[in-house]
């Protein structure tokens, strides 16, 4: 049981910054921020979950059944993630590529302390045995100050000390073209129609300030599914624009992204870039292929005839890029367990390809790095069996103990792909992460 308290700070914006800074004293932190973007399907503006009371940490083996048991027994708010490699629990697949980040495959926890931000109010939900800490915590939060994080001009030079970061490519340009040629060979002979091919950028022997890095990334990108995650010495700083899956009552919502164009400071040119993306046959075909895959996945738990495409190939604008997004909904069969909705759709089609299993096998052969949390998902379950999960893209991952920083980017490869254009699209997607890390 939880005690609920409504707090109305003088400034929610400042309170949120103080709240996130205050949370760093805990080992388990999940911060989700919508940046008030496209509120049609948002339940909250932002959420903070901290301080694990119970939790589950496991590898991919039988992962969904273990998570189902934990979620069913706990019947409370749960926050955490599934890495991309949980695919190995769904199909006869493997992930043996290089991994220096070493995130557990699955991690969820039941927070002692929960903050739900909507409008000008903060709904605070503490487990009963810590609810006597609410007032003292509010006072501590509102006294939290850190000149490296609060009210700083993000364009000015950071006052925090930092090292120069040397970013390396796991796959160099010539090798990227060779790998894309192999991918296109698979496509032309009919093994697959589309595959999402990813490459890693990384820095070794590197120390960063995770919260400052996240705040800079979020300021640049302002995405609807921003995430700051801390699990002991491992961090995720995500500026994701993509929702994987949301359950609200009996309604399931999926919003796959396929199709990217850069932005321009010149409005006329920017409008032209947006229009060209909306009309681009290759980008539309990428998106439609994944929409078909999502429709098929959702149909496994949907009532007959309820899978609906609400938006097809609609272009949305973000500070760094224009994105082509589709929205697919379904009504779930009554008494379907929420974990089964995830199991039958994971991993998300936008990060795999079609047909999904063949694409995942080819991806594994050609990529050099184990994806781990990248192209996995972070989100939460409610006590009412609802959930909301993002797609982990446009993200920086950090293993503090190994002093290893990583970000990956990818693109959908189809028969119409031009390797040079695909490579350039990867650089556009990587721009915000590189800017943040290289200051």
pLDDT one-digit tens code per residue, 28-46? 999 999 999 877 888 999 9
Q: What is the mean pLDDT of residues 8-28?
A: 96
* Residues taking part in catalysis: 242, 258
Q: What is the mean pLDDT of residues 358-379?
A: 97
Q: What is the mean pLDDT of residues 165-183?
A: 96
Quick one: which H or E segment has residue 12? helix 12-22
DSSP helix/strand/coil, 10? coil
Q: How confident is the model at residue 156 (pLDDT cuts 50, 70, 90)?
A: very low
pLDDT of 148 reads 45
Nearest to 283 by CA among 427, 414, 420: 414
Q: How confident is the model at residue 113 (pLDDT cuts 50, 70, 90)?
A: very high
The Cα–Cα gap between 250 and 247 comes to 7
Nearest to 53 by CA among 33, 76, 83: 76
Bond prior to 347 in cis (omega within 30° of 0): yes
Token code pair at residue 425: 């699209």
pLDDT of 38 reads 72
Q: How confident is the model at residue 162 (pLDDT cuts 50, 70, 90)?
A: low
Cβ(252)–Cβ(330) under 8 Å?
A: yes
pLDDT of 158 reads 43
Q: What is the mean pLDDT of residues 147-174?
A: 64
The Cα–Cα gap between 389 and 14 comes to 26
The Cα–Cα gap between 313 and 311 comes to 7
The tens digit of pLDDT for each residue in 400-427 reads 999 999 999 999 999 999 999 999 999 9
The Cα–Cα gap between 86 and 67 comes to 12
pLDDT of 146 reads 52
The residue among 32 and 439 whose pLDDT is bigger is 32
Cβ(343)–Cβ(90) under 8 Å?
A: yes
Mean pLDDT, all residues of the chain: 94
Contacts of 147 (CB under 8 A, 6+ apart): 159
Cβ(84)–Cβ(372) under 8 Å?
A: yes
Cβ(55)–Cβ(28) under 8 Å?
A: yes
Q: What is the mean pLDDT of residues 219-229?
A: 95
Picking from 6-10, 36-40, 304-308, 326-330, which range would have the lowest pLDDT averaged per residue? 36-40
pLDDT of 147 reads 42
Q: Is the pLDDT of residue 52 over 90?
A: yes
The Cα–Cα gap between 399 and 370 comes to 15
pLDDT of 364 reads 96
Q: How confident is the model at residue 154 (pLDDT cuts 50, 70, 90)?
A: very low
Residue 148, Cβ neighbours under 10 Å: how many? 14
Name the percent of the chain lying above pLDDT 90.
92
Cβ(223)–Cβ(37) under 8 Å?
A: yes
What structural domains does the chain harbor? 2-144+164-438 (3.60.120.10)
Angle between helices 210-221 and 419-438 (to 10 degrees): 130
Cβ(272)–Cβ(336) under 8 Å?
A: no
Q: Is the pLDDT of residue 153 over 80?
A: no
Q: What is the mean pLDDT of residues 36-65?
A: 94
Q: Is the pLDDT of residue 151 over 90?
A: no
The Cα–Cα gap between 421 and 392 comes to 23
pLDDT of 163 reads 63
pLDDT of 155 reads 40
Q: Is the pLDDT of residue 104 over 80?
A: yes
């Amino acid at each position: 049981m939880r005690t609920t308290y409504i707090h109305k700070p003088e400034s929610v914006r400042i309170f949120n910054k103080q709240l996130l800074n205050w949370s760093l004293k805990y080992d388990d932190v999940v911060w989700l921020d919508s940046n008030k973007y496209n509120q049609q399907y948002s339940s909250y503006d932002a959420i903070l979950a901290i301080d694990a009371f119970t939790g589950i940490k496991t590898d991919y083996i039988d992962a969904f059944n273990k998570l189902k048991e934990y979620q069913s027994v706990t019947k409370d708010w749960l926050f955490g993630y599934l890495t991309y490699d949980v695919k190995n629990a769904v199909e006869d697949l493997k992930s043996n590529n290089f991994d220096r980040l070493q995130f557990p495959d699955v991690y969820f926890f039941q927070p002692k302390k929960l903050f739900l931000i909507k409008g000008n109010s903060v709904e605070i939900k503490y487990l009963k045995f810590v609810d006597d800490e609410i007032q003292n915590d509010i006072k501590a939060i509102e006294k939290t100050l850190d000149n490296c994080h609060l009210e700083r001009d993000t364009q000015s030079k950071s006052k925090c000390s930092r090292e120069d970061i040397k970013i390396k490519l796991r796959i160099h340009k010539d090798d990227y073209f060779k790998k894309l040629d192999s991918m296109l060979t698979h496509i032309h002979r009919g093994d697959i129609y589309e595959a999402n091919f990813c490459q890693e950028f990384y820095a070794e022997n590197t120390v960063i300030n995770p919260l400052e890095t996240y705040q800079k990334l979020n300021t640049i990108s302002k995405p609807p599914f921003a995430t700051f995650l801390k699990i002991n010495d491992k961090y995720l700083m995500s500026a994701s624009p993509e929702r994987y899956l949301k359950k609200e009552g009996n309604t399931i919502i999926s919003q796959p992204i396929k199709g990217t164009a850069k932005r321009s400071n010149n409005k006329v040119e920017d409008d032209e870039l947006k229009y060209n993306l909306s009309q681009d046959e290759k980008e539309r075909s990428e998106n439609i292929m994944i929409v078909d895959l999502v429709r098929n996945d959702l149909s496994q738990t949907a009532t007959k005839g309820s899978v609906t495409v609400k938006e097809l190939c609609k272009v949305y604008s973000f500070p760094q890029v224009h994105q082509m997004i589709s929205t697919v909904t379904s009504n779930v069969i009554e008494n379907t367990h929420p974990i089964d909705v995830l199991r039958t759709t994971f991993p998300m089609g936008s990060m795999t390809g079609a047909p999904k299993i063949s694409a995942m096998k080819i991806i594994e052969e050609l990529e050099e790095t184990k994806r781990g949390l990248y192209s996995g998902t972070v989100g939460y379950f409610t006590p009412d069996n609802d959930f909301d999960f993002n797609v982990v893209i446009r993200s920086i991952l950090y293993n503090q103990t190994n002093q290893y920083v990583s970000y990956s980017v990818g693109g959908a490869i189809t028969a119409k792909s031009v390797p040079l254009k695909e490579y350039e699209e990867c650089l556009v997607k990587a721009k915000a992460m590189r800017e943040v890390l290289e200051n």
